[in-house]
């Protein structure tokens, strides 16, 4: 079993990096990758740690980069990256993250005030949580807000992010395109750092036609592969993506998108419930720079 999509406290996960290693060992995972959002902080925390004292498997250096395609924010996973090279670019700077997300949060709080939505006026970015996560959680503290949202948006952070924050017709729209890398730029950065780039969780994006959206990204000839196994992908969708990778000579990856308490139903080492992520998909492209 493997899990190549895991988050820690250096982005919006609840587990410390060393606790991820311990949990992976307990689960008998053969290979993992910590892929925090626009952050390599987990690897800096583990820099002086003897990984094998906690996890006997392979640890692939990774990161989940924010990108944009056709005006929609998406995520690109980079694996086998040189942490020092990524750090030297300044693209995953914590200062840049806080500046951007605090500006987003202020804009959305202004929207709430204009719409007479109830919200806490002392909101701020804490840890590496995104503005959307903080605002959505806060809005749900006040039951009187529920009538202003559809059931899906009210209950799902992903739906709020993908259909409101990413929707130009929504008052919550944020023009993130100017702040994010293009697919080509993200792939070039990952390649510069010696890694391989993969499109993350296709079916997590709210688009009219996922196949067309995927084809438009693949046609850029920038990425090395696709994340096929994921907690948002049914087995039918996983099989479709595995076949797609085979037909288009792309590599396949897979991960749970584990966040700890933020996503309590997502289990490390599994895509959907009781579906383990097989090591075999990693064999064709296993990076050489793994612990």
- Domains of the chain by range and CATH? 2-93+182-285 (3.20.20.140), 95-165 (no CATH)
pLDDT for 179:
87
Mean pLDDT of the chain: 94
The answer on pLDDT for 117 being more than 80 is: yes
pLDDT for 206:
86
The answer on pLDDT for 241 being more than 70 is: yes
Pick the more confident residue, 38 or 178: 38
> What confidence tens digit (pLDDT) does each residue in 176-206 have?
888 889 999 999 999 999 999 999 999 999 8
pLDDT for 125:
85
The answer on pLDDT for 94 being more than 90 is: no
pLDDT for 273:
87
> What confidence tens digit (pLDDT) does each residue in 147-163 have?
999 999 999 998 999 89
Q: How confident is the model at residue 288 (pLDDT cuts 50, 70, 90)?
A: confident
Q: Cα(145)–Cα(154) distance, rounded to whole angstroms?
A: 9
């Amino acid at each position: 079993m493997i899990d190549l999509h895991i988050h820690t406290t250096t982005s919006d996960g609840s587990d410390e990096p060393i606790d991820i290693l311990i949990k992976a060992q307990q689960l008998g995972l053969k290979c993992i990758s910590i892929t925090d959002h626009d952050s390599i902080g987990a690897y800096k925390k583990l820099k002086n740690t003897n990984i094998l004292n906690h996890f006997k498997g392979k640890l692939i250096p990774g990161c989940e980069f924010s990108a944009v395609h056709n005006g929609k924010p998406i995520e690109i996973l980079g694996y086998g990256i040189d942490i020092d090279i990524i750090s030297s670019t300044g693209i995953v700077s914590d200062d840049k993250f806080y500046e951007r997300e605090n500006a987003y949060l202020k804009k959305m709080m202004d929207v709430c005030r204009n719409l007479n939505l109830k919200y806490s006026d002392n909101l701020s970015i804490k840890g590496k949580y995104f503005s959307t996560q903080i605002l959505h959680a806060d809005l749900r503290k006040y039951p009187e807000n529920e009538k202003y949202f559809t059931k899906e948006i009210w209950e799902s952070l992903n739906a709020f992010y993908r259909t409101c924050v990413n929707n130009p017709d929504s008052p919550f729209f944020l023009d993130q395109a100017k702040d994010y890398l293009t697919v080509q730029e993200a792939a070039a950065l990952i390649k510069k750092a010696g890694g391989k780039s993969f499109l993350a969780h296709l079916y997590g994006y709210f688009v009219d036609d996922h196949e067309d959206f995927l084809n438009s990204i693949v046609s850029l000839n920038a990425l090395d592969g696709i994340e096929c196994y994921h907690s948002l992908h049914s087995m039918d969708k996983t099989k479709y993506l595995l076949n797609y990778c085979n037909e288009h000579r792309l590599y396949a990856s897979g991960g749970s998108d584990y966040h700890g308490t933020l996503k309590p139903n997502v289990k490390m080492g599994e895509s959907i419930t009781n579906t383990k992520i097989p090591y075999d998909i990693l064999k064709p492209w296993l990076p050489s720079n793994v612990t």
